[in-house]
């Protein structure tokens, strides 16, 4: 992997977003539907990305990558972060409790 592959606009944006959301989460400032989606993402990635500490798709730190709105796996594991209504519907359709 080359530096130009790492330091691109999308990766820099994701890095900033993930870190800002992380600090907001630590301060208890995230909405419940966002917290649920983060927990869902980490549960789906428990056996590989969480175990190694980095996303198998992009190499970012797992616990911060799970906080970013855009999914780096093109929906293979989970979709982009959803609003409250869409998340409620997604849970229903996919039988997520």
Query: What would the pLDDT profile of 29-74 be if each residue is shown by its tens digit?
Result: 899 999 999 999 999 999 999 999 998 988 888 888 898 998 988 8
Mean pLDDT, the chain, integer: 88
E strand or H helix that includes residue 37: helix 32-44
- Residue 97 token pair: 């409790």
Q: What is the pTM of this model?
A: 0.81
Distance CA 48, CA 12 (A): 24
Q: What is the pLDDT of residue 3?
A: 60
CA atoms within a 13 Å half-sphere pointing along the CA-CB vector of 2: 2
62 bridge partner residues: none
Distance CA 91, CA 93 (A): 6
């Amino acid at each position: 992997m080359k530096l130009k592959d790492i330091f691109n606009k999308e990766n820099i944006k994701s890095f900033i977003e993930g870190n800002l959301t992380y600090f907001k989460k630590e301060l208890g400032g995230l909405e419940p539907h966002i917290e649920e989606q983060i927990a869902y993402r980490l549960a789906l990635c428990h056996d590989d990305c969480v175990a190694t500490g980095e996303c198998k798709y992009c190499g970012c730190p797992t616990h911060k990558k799970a906080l970013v709105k855009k999914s780096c796996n093109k929906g293979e594991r989970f979709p982009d972060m959803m609003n409250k209504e869409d998340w409620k519907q997604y849970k229903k359709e996919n039988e997520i409790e």
